[in-house]
Amino acid sequence: MDKKNKTLGEFIIENQSSFQYSSGELSKLINAIRLAAKVVNHEVNKAGLIDILGAAGDTNIQGEDQQKLDVLANEKFIQTLKNREIVCGIASEEEDDFISINSQDEQHQNKYIVLIDPLDGSSNIDVNVSVGTIFSIYRRVTPVGTPVTIEDFLQPGDNQVAAGYIVYGTSTMLVYTTGDGVNGFTLNPAIGTFYLSHPNMQFPETGKIYSVNEGNYIHFPQGVKDYIKYCQQEEGDRPYTSRYIGSLVSDFHRNMIKGGIYMYPKSSKAHEGKLRLLYECNPMAFLAEQANGKASDGKGRIMALKPTELHQRVPFFCGSTKMVEKAEEFIAKANK
């Protein structure tokens, strides 16, 4: 079969043996995420036709207004994962605490937990700009057969067994890794099937795009300001192009294909950074490193950090290796 004609289901089955814990459960879990993604994609595509745009009137644990589609996406992913009885716990950016799941089948011993950002970039929903879903999968560290605890969720990113995202854009794509490279699958909406469209995705070693909210420039640390000025200088292959969508999934996806760096540093307004370590940074860092890129908090590897709380925030620099390393250089120099 032509590689490009391979469906996500076929790809999962064929590559199951490359996963070190191969037992079929992880494949079922990826399939559950695929199903939920198709449901959410359907809702995103008709968002302008029915009453699911705009704020729901509640705020999430982060203190951010929950959009109606945020709530719907959260419910769909949690419901799908629960119904398949494959996971023992779920943590969502939209929930205050983690959810412990007890299997109805006492013989079924679930080993995996999922952390999810159900609808990344939701501030873009009302203006029809690409949004996405980010997911991260770990094996539990507490004994199988017992309820999950916070310890199962506060694992460093290096412990991830799989991670990925779905981007709901002009075409809908599911991109994921199980630690053996990164592959992208595009949804054929006519038949509801994901096909392998982007095999072995890789960040170019360097690029010409920098993605940062420059409206916060005045609040950034000096090292980040210096790096942005470096990106703007006319010298060699610079100036770089500024491209910022405000949806991590979309900015990351573009930069992985074209080469670039995404930055969300700490600032005088957000002292610890804004992005969540467990729901956004760790999964994207896993994908980046598997795609020949790099992810950092400005000092060192994101995936080496030991989380201390479920909704922890960290600075985030991610993308083409040479660009991330150059940003780290400017930050280190300014901190001397």
Summarize the annotated binding site for Mg(2+) as residue ranges: 93, 117, 119-120, 280
In angstroms, the CA 262 to CA 276 distance is 15
39 CB-side CA count, 13 A: 18
CB-based burial, 222-252: b 16+ in 10 Å, e otherwise: ebbbbbbebbeeeeeeeebeebbbebbbbbb
Annotated binding site: 93, 117, 119-123, 213, 244, 274, 280
In angstroms, the CA 134 to CA 164 distance is 6
Annotated binding site for substrate: 120-123, 213, 244, 274
335 burial level (CB within 10 Å; 0-12, 13-18, 19+): exposed
Q: Given CA atoms 231, 283, 218, 329 in this order, what sign does their dihedral have?
A: negative
H or E element, residue 164: strand 162-168
144 burial level (CB within 10 Å; 0-12, 13-18, 19+): exposed
DSSP 281: I
Q: How far does CA 103 lie from the centroid of its chain?
A: 27
Residue 53 identity: L
